[in-house]
Structure 1
Amino acid sequence: MFLMFAMTTDAVGVIIPEVMKQFNLSMTAAGLLHYGPMIAIAIAGISLGFLADKLGRKATIIIGLMLFVLSSYMFLVGKSFGFFLALLMISGVAIGIFKTGALSLIGDISRSTKEHTSTMNNVEGFFGVGAIIGPFIVTYFLSKG
């Protein structure tokens, strides 16, 4: 999922010029598509991290995933910039919730500091791969029309 989250959040930058044309936006307004979800991830991670302790790691992961799936699906019915921005913000909250549960779970199940470090490095590696391939895929589809 970390790969998928990076693909979706980092691919947004590639579509900004298209969104600017489609909705006649300034660069500042269109930039909200990129930094809006990042702000939501940060706020959710900081303010909703307690859910991993209160509801449990797995339940928190599932809540984050369900919210992400719902917001992703809703893009099918969207027609306005504001709606798309709201969906990206909800996706950011979902990612923040998911990450607090998932990273806590990794800490819980790691049997040693070495194992924890290795697992976290792999998680971040997958995030990095997603950040590379997401924009590439979107660029490919944009070039095909």
Structure 2
Amino acid sequence: MHRITAVFAAGTTVALLALPTLASAALPQKGVLLKGTLHAAGLTALTKPIDLKVAATGKTARFTWWCGSQKTISNRYAITVAIKPDGTFAGANNVGTLTVWTVKGRFLTATSARASLRLIAICDAKGGLANLKVS
């Protein structure tokens, strides 16, 4: 009877230790360029193309988005975000003490990610959730 209990306890411990790794995000492929689009969700919303370029080190990425479907310098916004060991990233763009826009996301696989773009005082002020992948 004690042997069954010991085996069950060991199996349960291994299963519980594996749970955090299953729920965590993936690490990105170094140097990969992911693309996505935040689609217009209303009459006044604009489509927003998004790029996420992972650095050669895999520790940072350049998050770039455009206000409107045309990619020009005048409507481009970008920040460099740190990629945490669990595959998540976040950043904010500020003007003085005013936060203009923020991004928060995580890598789902080495070549895909999901990002939430929050537009506070820029573009059409309509953010949302975008899926990013290699294109």
- TM band (smaller chain): under 0.3
TM-score (normalised: structure 2): 0.24
Larger radius of gyration: 2
The one of the two structures with greater contact order (alpha-carbon pairs below 8 A, sep at least 6) is 1
